[in-house]
Structure 1
């Protein structure tokens, strides 16, 4: 049974959700790859942070061409990650500790090894089996050219030809054929998948590529060359492409919302929707659609006070008319880690902690990617060790650097990620030696570590959230400062958050003693240092 809500609003509205990249969280069986039993073994750690929910990346049966985002069977666990019984044990353990579990759903495409696609390849052009995917005849005199000029997000053409001459669409890897959402079978099958996991007790779904299910009628060419040579980030951010954010996606999420609402326990869904504006984002969280959608504009914003203020204002302008609350995220398994994004080294870490404190103070939910609590920077993975299809297909530098297995303990690889044995386990992506300075074991012993800071901030947030309003008032503390106030409920104290994005100290002595600091105040001056943030109760 899922844990009960502690106050009247739905649990997800103010939750801190911890993203687990399953392959890289913890390995229980010693094969160098994270698994479900590894998660179960560390549930007490997750509760101690503390967090309210866990989001697990795909663990379904898969040939692992895109590390699980190529699903061959939506209703089973891949043996590399364990069994359905292991999943049930992990879910029950999380619920026993008061944490919800969100699972990843991949509805835009399947694996090329999914039984539907195997059947489609064996069937004739125009058959029902092929209509579940996007098969088309080629262009040119002999059909040897692709149906249009679309490019894969992972690099290279978005079309692959099969022996009988037809082509199939794959917006990602060639082993990830896109489903045809105009075919009723597809919608019925995915609803059945949702029911399967809801019946097992999951609390919600993160919907992968939520903006990509439908393609514009006729699938026209993209003007200007379709992005040949673009990186993954370039392709995902081209909002006007005829394969992103088509109106039909909203009917799907209305159908799913009705299903979720028929289950007890505030079941929810959050969308990965890379769309061009906050207004477009807000369409996904209308009252009868998704509960949340990731605010990627916050994630991609530089450490700049004007830029951060703009994203906050734009977000509220968009979600307020549809009655939704914001969802904030600084990092995930697809982007450069926050410390490195903000400049790396001590500077990047200071900024990352300050941005985290701002995110945790803002109304709404917050998503934390595994390793953020340790202050992990991006890892430079050697070319010969890279496994990301975006790298292998030439679509960019790849995402391996943010996916390196976590360091738990010890001074040498695998740093407690895998169990001890006669020989050290080689993890699926190699860990650098400098991970010894970032282990959970080492940071737990240091009251000034990033982990200790995160535990304190998350603990304070948990205590404060029930006492605070969702209303937000922006404060003017100078051009290089982000400052805002959340009123207390029933006349209680307000929370004020101040972030110094500039290069000079800023005065905060009028706000009283800080509750939480991302750094320290300039000694004896009541001044907040650059690249720092603080919370005050006023």
Structure 2
């Protein structure tokens, strides 16, 4: 059994702008996070991941900045949240409660307002010119992009700069120029930035879109593929041969790992999109039970997975084969870029409870998005008034393109997944003081969906999360055990069953999930069985190893022996 804390942790993502506003500015702040640390401790999570809080041009119109994911200074705190002194206090308060803190680090690109880029675009011979990716255009006047590369969803990946008459590369929005990681100075600067925050006591980093760091050195065209209208004028779905998952990116991830390991007891979790086999590469090479790349990688296959036996079983089997021991999958069902999980579950609280039990009983590291524990949902917000720069690009696309984006499980307006945390039924849902105006509208359902009300209701989703988190935190089997899917004739076809177990330990946990609208009655084929937790009851018992599962109920049972 591992003694590495991050292998047994539970991560909770906070989007700072939307968590807790103590000043009435309408924007969440560091003091607000500190004020809710006891809530998080009682909830049962251990590691807090903070979306970016660095300086960013958030004073500009919303369609010209990315709410912190376009950084203009990597070694400071945006004044809308506080300052470095308050951040240091936050780190101390987190550690005082036995919790951990992970910062969001955007290594791939900066803001166009970053002093490095301001220098870089000032002239072709500026010392910072090679810190970014500049290329001559094509065509007789050089006004055509250097190649056919597309940005993620939003069209061409090149923007022409009139002043220096070259194009710069941006994998994302055109005010987020990509850094040039083929420049050793850039690599050292970013590794030293990691050291800067580790010296301030942070426990690790979530690495934003880490698979996009390097691009083809020769800037060759991507191969053409299936034409779709939301990609670019070249009409192609970008393949990853030239822009994503390059071997040099994997090598640099190993350098990041070496840097983090200088400090001991820290960890890295990467945002890597693509098939599980591509995600697996970012763990690096495995030898003597250890890997030399990223410690963890988000397993995004779960985001769109429907709750039926076939789909969930396939999800688990892929994770178990792709991230076999000593690797671990990181289970994420919602985040700041995707629809909230309960939206996919059609606002069904029973299904949300079952989903929580699934996430907290699988082998690997669970990552919970703020508000998920109370079932916060996506409101419908007008894209014309969106605070999300990406949505302003997407709403100009033709209807067929927008429908395709929805089909792939993406949000046309990410504001809908970022609304203020719903703490109470008071004005502004308790997020801002009554006189404040939250930066995004509070969801209309806040009076019936909030922490205060669910705290009072033992049958709430919040208490279900607490129940399963407490069990997981006190169970070495659930924290570190292996997983085996159980096929047995006693189990109905609508029930998914898997064991969590430690080698050479007699007791194991049997997880049963009834993924259907009907109740199921059957016997559990083990020597002994005691129900440790249920999604729908706090006092469920078994009689002679017989169990009755309600529709969409999940249970964890302590059993002994082998299924007979």
TM-score by length of 2: 0.87
Contact 1:468-1:494 at 8 Å conserved across structures: no
Shift of 1:201: 0.5
Q: 1:508 to 1:194 in 2, by over 3 A?
A: farther
Distance 1:99 1:411 in 2: 29
Counterparts of 1:186 and 1:226, CA distance in 2: 35
**How far is the alpha carbon of 1:148 from its aligned partner?**
1.9
Q: Structure 2 residue aligned with 1:41, among 8, 18, 35?
A: 35
Q: Which residue of 1 aligns with 2:510?
A: 496
Unaligned runs of 5+ in 2: 59-64, 285-290, 396-401, 403-411, 560-564
Deviates more, 1:13-22 or 1:515-524: 515-524
Q: Indicate the residue corresponding to 2:558 in structure 1.
A: 537
Contact 2:309–2:496 at 8 Å: present in 1 too? yes
The 5-angstrom pairing of residues 106-125 of structure 1 reads: 106-124=106-124
Q: Give the aligned CA root-mean-square deviation in angstroms.
A: 2.5
- Equivalent residue in structure 1 for 2:497, among 464, 483, 493: 483
Q: Give the 5 Å matches for 1:94-173.
A: 94-124=94-124, 127-163=126-162, 164-173=164-173
1:9 aligns with 2:3: yes
Name 1:271's counterpart in structure 2: 270
Q: 1:469–1:489: 8 Å Cα contact kept in structure 2?
A: no
* Structure 1 position 230 matched with structure 2 position 197: no
Give 1:151 deviation, angstroms.
Answer: 2.5
1:231-380 residue pairs with structure 2 within 5 A?
240=240, 242-264=242-264, 266-276=265-275, 278-286=276-284, 287-320=291-324, 323-342=326-345, 344-346=346-348, 349-380=349-380
Structure-2 separation of matches of 1:467 and 1:270: 20
Task: Tell me the secondary structure at the aligned position of residue 507 of structure 2.
Answer: coil
1:29: Cα distance to partner?
1.5
Match of 1:399 in 2: 414
Asked if structure 1 preserves the Cα contact closer than 8 Å seen for 2:531 and 2:541, the reply is: no
Question: Aligned equivalents of 2:18 and 2:11: distance in 1?
Answer: 17
| Displacement of 1:467 | 7.3
* Greater CA drift, 191-200 or 428-437: 428-437
Q: CA deviation at 1:13?
A: 0.1
SS of 2:475's equivalent in the other structure is helix
| Cα displacement (A) at 1:260 | 1.4
Deviation track 1:483-518 (CA, whole Å, cap 9, x = no partner) reads 100125663521111112234333354374532222
Q: 2: CA distance between counterparts of 1:522 and 1:486?
A: 20
Q: Which moved more, 1:376-385 or 1:221-230?
A: 221-230
Deviation for aligned residue 1:88: 0.6
Q: Describe the superposition over 1:204-257 as per-residue Cα deviations: whole angstroms up to 9, x where unpaired.
A: 00000011001123223334479764389xx99966352111111111111111
Report if the CA contact (8 A) 1:156-1:394 is conserved.
Answer: no
Aligned length: 519
Could you say which residue in structure 2 is the equivalent of 1:456? 467
Give the Cα–Cα distance (whole angstroms) in 2 for the partners of residues 214 and 407 of structure 1: 40
Partner of 1:57: 51
| 2:441 maps to which of 423, 430, 439 | 430
Distance 1:516 1:270, change over 3 A: same
8 Å CA contact 2:269–2:298 kept in 1: the answer is: yes
1:174-193 matched pairs, under 5 angstroms: 174-193=174-193
Measured after TM superposition, the shift of residue 130 of structure 1 is: 1.8
2:521 equivalent in structure 1: 507
Cα deviation for residue 47 of structure 1 reads: 0.3
Partners of 1:212 and 1:106 in 2: CA distance = 11
| Contact 1:211 1:275 (8 Å CA) reproduced | no
Corresponding residue of 2:562? none
1:294 positional shift: 0.5
Taking a change above 3 Å as real, the CA distance of residues 84 and 103 of structure 1, as seen in their structure-2 partners, is same
Alpha-carbon distance in structure 1 between the residues aligned to 2:95 and 2:103: 14
**CA distance 1:434–1:522, change in 2 (3 Å):** farther
- What SS class does the counterpart of residue 524 from structure 2 fall into? helix
Secondary structure in structure 2 of the residue aligned to 1:444:
helix
In the superposition, relative to structure 1, how do residues 229 and 236 fare at CA in structure 2: closer, same or farther (>3 Å)?
Answer: closer
SS of the aligned residue for 1:324 comes to coil
Pair 1:385–1:194, CA change in 2 (3 A): same
Where does structure 1 lack aligned partners over 5 or more consecutive residues?
A: 1-6
Query: Quick one: distance in 1 between partners of 2:126 and 2:370?
Result: 44
Assess, with a 3 A threshold, how the Cα gap between structure 1 residues 150 and 485 changes in structure 2: closer, same or farther. Answer: same
Alignment of structure 1 residues 51-90 onto 2, 5 Å: 51-64=45-58, 65-90=65-90
1:152 Cα deviation (Å)? 2.3
